[in-house]
Structure 1
Amino acid sequence: MSSTDNDPAPSLYAPREPVFPRRVSGWFRNLKWILMIFTLGIYYLTPWVRWDRGPNLPDQAVLIDLANRRFFFFWIEIWPHEFYFIAGLLIMAGLGLFLFTSALGRVWCGYACPQTVWTDLFILVERWIEGDRNARLRLHKQKKWDLRKARLRLTKWIAWALIGLATGGAWVFYFADAPTLFIDLLTGQAHPVAYTTMFVLTATTFFFGGIAREQICIYACPWPRIQAAMMDEDTLVVGYREWRGEPRKHSEAVKEGEPQGDCIDCMACVNVCPVGIDIRDGQQLECITCALCIDACDDIMTKIGKPRGLIDYMASTDEANERSGKPIKPVWQHILRPRTIMYTALWALVGFGLLFALFIRADIEMSVAPVRNPIFVTLSDGSIRNTYDVRLLNKHGEDRPFHITVSGNTALRVQLEGTSDESVNVPADSTYLQKVYVVAPAGSAPANAERTTFRIWIEDTSNGERAYKDTIFNGKDN
């Protein structure tokens, strides 16, 4: 038996090496701070913005009213049957993601993705409490727990939990009046669903932003696997100018006396990377195009008196042209190309379609459902009566009188259940179900025909706005 027979089998699993990014300053880092403050501000503060819609409507600017099945967004009110507006916005979001990816790679992932934004916030808190990269590494490698390590970790976890609690709390505020729900949450009178939702979101925010971090981007997110379909050789991504940086200071080529490249192997680009990769190894699935490595490398190049841009936003065609000494394309030519123009045109087309649908939609609507049991009733005088459930929708902020009539056959007449008039008062910003009887006199054409098409009209008598639905009158089969 050979000695190798007793060797343990190689492990197919490598334990995770936690990433502790170093603090960096620069243009891209400042842009990320601005976007983080902007996006978090929108998320946390939007439920508290008020918008006056009148005495009968909620005054919260953005509200998902599940109880009444409506969505309020400032002056826009979306009803359940208008869900195509939400679908259109989702399509625009997808096309926008395709557009930005085609032009600038995973720029969404690097700057505006919620996972990135909250991870940045959690790392910032961690840095405030435990120190910069080296201090956090020493604390991580310290196997023995002492009072200092326990105090720092507990403080960090409490801060993370409070951020997670604020995140879950802000989310539930979108589904109810924020000030009222806030008081109910503090006094223990809120619905159990609110507490459950806050607990789940607190736990997931704590885990995703504080514990998993880059693992979500690498393993859980599907976007890295499909982004290549949106990119081509003209897409601007973060890249390393190998032709200028190699050979590095510590490579064998330098030891043999060959000229040294600009890269001094300082590892600054690796130490600031939030996903822990080395951009000098080329494009990688893990790269989120946050460009922090550009800031770190530019800072080092400035200090050693070398030109900035060793790591930079560049396309694969730029690298080939630079190697051969040819001029590179200007940025606008990389961005304005057939692929991005197509995505922009589709995005704009969907947007204009939604705006057009929003401006032409009526403030009053109706639906008609014939009652099928029975299909018709023969009255004592021989006339035929059909029954219809007419649902009236009044989108105005005040009660409106609706007058109901029929057209298409002069023999038909209308009767409304519960009133001798042909008008009904529909409450503000609500639907109202009215049972409508349509009667055809004995011997008339509709009474003697098996099916007669006619139209039911409603008119808002306060402003003359009208709507209609076509339906069928069922008579005797002679």
Structure 2
Amino acid sequence: MADTAAPKPGSTTDEIPIEAPLYEKRRQLFVQSVKGRYRSIKWAVLVLTLGVYYLLPFVRWDRGPNAPDQAVLIDFPARRFYFFFIEIWPQEVYYLTGLLVLAAFVLFLMNALAGRVWCGYLCPQTVWTDLFLAVERFFEGDRRERTKLYQGRWTGNRIARTGGKHFVWLMIAWWTGGAWVLYFADAPTLVWQLATLQAPLIAYIWIGILTFTTYALAGFLREQVCTYMCPWPRIQAALTDEHALNVTYKVDRGEPRVSLKKSVALRETGEKVGDCVDCNQCVAVCPTGVDIRDGLQLGCVQCGLCIDACNNVMDKIGRPQGLIGYDSEYNLERRLAGEPEEKPKIVRARTILYVVLILGISAFMAFHLATRSTLDVAALHDRNPLFVQLSDGSIRNAYTVRLANKALEERVFTLSLDGLPAGFVEAVGAENVSAQSLSVAVGPARTRELRVLVTVPRGTDGPASREIVFTLAAPEGESAFVRDHFMMPAN
């Protein structure tokens, strides 16, 4: 319940002002179609992004006989992530972390240059909502026809049109969920399994979950997601500045706004009249129902459709375009103060910093990807007991050693030990090469775990704990190492 203000002395309770509710009541939006430059850009982005999303699982990439040939694949059973020529192992999750950090800085840069351009053109919620709106217009007509349809009675015509719309919505949502699971298995194989009801149960579960969420978010919630559920509008407000380009109503040119007929009469008398004719076309085409003339708002996704609508109106009444356009708060304030506007400041400290960080992170990741090793070794010392004294007086330490072969062919590695003046290593399933090394075969793109026993003879002097190094060497000369400790009784 909203709080009420205390009554003023001498006033009645009927005069107590009521505080505005925290959330606006949901209103049905009938978004009008529009043609123009920004609408064309949005159509191009929609086709490109959805085309990539739906078709990418079927793109092939030859990695050799011992690796999957799907270009983009998240292979949970093998614990691999494949992206064309890049293969990420579980212990290389830092690459994914770097990618997320890189994406964050790209988003910050986009915000510094053009406000919520991500929200208006590239956000999945925006893209799928645009697609659902197109389907809605196809079945139920444009804004005026759809408004009349919803205000009328449920007739056979309305049932058929509304039913057709929801059926296509469900098919799009279903294929959206189906495309998602194709990234986790061989796409053609999984499609056949899904069609013949032989796919794993988890695939059907996730298709159902994503079908429901896509259908609900893009078909019904729409602007509620952008206004109440998404955190980015609140975050980006703290990251923007007065030089960022945002979709802006140029109040210095548009006000005072009057109808077209009145503006003609007032102009003839010499009175100052703005170019805005109060046609509300900018509101009618807004997917979130925002009136851009009220200034920047949380619900505005900066999609630019109001620019197209206003430009079309300006063309019809013979006035210059640009009453609504991408503009900076800095230039708006200069015009209101009677000063000439300046060119947009694209290059400034904020954007330079973001570009440097993006390039630095990209170069760092690219260098490490290009120079990363195709083998790896890790060792874990037994905790209990730390060492064992054998019957002949020798001391033995046990380790679990994991070897990784990231190449696509089987290789025979040499695992050697350094750091002990005397001693030998042995492991189950490995061939002893010398007293301090083992010969171990590891399959293509596989790991192998060994139980390694390191023993030193009786009478070996030294501290109770000394550092040792396990070195894994490939036939072609590549190597990797890991440090651990050999434990002995205190002298």
TM range (shorter): over 0.9
How far is the alpha carbon of 1:11 from its aligned partner?
9.8
1:417–1:437 contact (8 Å) kept in structure 2? no
- Look up the match of 2:92: 82
How far is the alpha carbon of 1:190 from its aligned partner?
1.2
1:130 to 132, 135, 140: 140
1:119–1:209 contact (8 Å) kept in structure 2? yes
SS of 1:230's equivalent?
coil
- Look up the match of 1:221: 230
Q: What's the CA shift string for 1:188-216, capped at 9, x where partnerless?
A: 11111111111111111011101111111
SS of 1:229's equivalent?
coil
Q: Distance in 2 between matches of 1:242 and 1:316?
A: 11
Q: Distance in 1 between matches of 2:324 and 2:53?
A: 33
How far is the alpha carbon of 1:357 from its aligned partner?
2.2
Is 2:72 the counterpart of 1:62?
yes
- Look up the match of 1:300: 313
How far is the alpha carbon of 1:250 from its aligned partner?
3.6
- Look up the match of 2:409: 398
Q: Distance in 2 between matches of 1:107 and 1:26?
A: 17
> Which amino acid in structure 2 is aligned with residue 359 of structure 1?
A
- Look up the match of 1:385: 396
- Look up the match of 2:342: 329
- TM-score, scaled to structure 1: 0.93
Is 2:215 the counterpart of 1:202?
no
> Which amino acid in structure 2 is aligned with residue 218 of structure 1?
T
- Look up the match of 1:243: 252
Q: Distance in 2 between matches of 1:252 and 1:148?
A: 39
> Which amino acid in structure 2 is aligned with residue 453 of structure 1?
E
How far is the alpha carbon of 1:377 from its aligned partner?
2.7
- Look up the match of 1:459: 473
1:112 to 109, 122, 144: 122
How far is the alpha carbon of 1:46 from its aligned partner?
1.0
SS of 1:435's equivalent?
strand
Percent of aligned pairs sharing the same letter? 47
1:33-432 equivalences under 5 Å are: 33-142=43-152, 144-250=153-259, 258-331=271-344, 333=345, 335-421=346-432, 422-432=438-448
1:438 to 454, 469, 472: 454
How far is the alpha carbon of 1:379 from its aligned partner?
3.1
1:3-18 equivalences under 5 Å are: 12=21, 15-18=25-28
> Which amino acid in structure 1 is aligned with residue 46 of structure 2?
M
> Which amino acid in structure 2 is aligned with residue 417 of structure 1?
V
Q: Distance in 2 between matches of 1:85 and 1:58?
A: 21
Q: Distance in 2 between matches of 1:409 and 1:217?
A: 63
How far is the alpha carbon of 1:76 from its aligned partner?
0.8
Q: Distance in 2 between matches of 1:49 and 1:92?
A: 25
Q: What's the CA shift string for 1:220-272, capped at 9, x where partnerless?
A: 11111222111111111111122222222249996876333211222211111
2:259–2:279 contact (8 Å) kept in structure 1? no
Q: Distance in 1 between matches of 2:288 and 2:324?
A: 17
Q: Distance in 2 between matches of 1:201 and 1:346?
A: 35
Q: 1:348 to 1:139 in 2, by over 3 A?
A: same
User: Is there any run of 5+ residues in structure 2 with no aligned partner, and where?
Assistant: 1-11, 433-437
> Which amino acid in structure 2 is aligned with residue 123 of structure 1?
L
Q: Distance in 1 between matches of 2:138 and 2:260?
A: 37
2:260–2:277 contact (8 Å) kept in structure 1? no
SS of 2:377's equivalent?
strand
How far is the alpha carbon of 1:353 from its aligned partner?
1.9
- TM-score, scaled to structure 2: 0.91
SS of 2:67's equivalent?
coil
How far is the alpha carbon of 1:323 from its aligned partner?
3.5
CA root-mean-square deviation? 2.2
Q: Distance in 2 between matches of 1:324 and 1:377?
A: 85
2:483 to 463, 466, 470: 470
- Look up the match of 2:7: none
2:246–2:327 contact (8 Å) kept in structure 1? yes
Q: Distance in 1 between matches of 2:19 and 2:85?
A: 63
Q: What's the CA shift string for 1:454-476, capped at 9, x where partnerless?
A: 21111112x12111112111223
Q: What's the CA shift string for 1:52-107, capped at 9, x where partnerless?
A: 11222111111111122221111111111111111111111111111111221111
> Which amino acid in structure 1 is aligned with residue 85 of structure 2?
W
SS of 1:369's equivalent?
strand
Q: What's the CA shift string for 1:295-348, capped at 9, x where partnerless?
A: 1111111121111111111111212223345332223x2x21111211222222
Q: What's the CA shift string for 1:432-461, capped at 9, x where partnerless?
A: 001222121222225xx4222221111112
User: Is there any run of 5+ residues in structure 1 with no aligned partner, and where?
Assistant: none
Q: 1:134 to 1:281 in 2, by over 3 A?
A: same
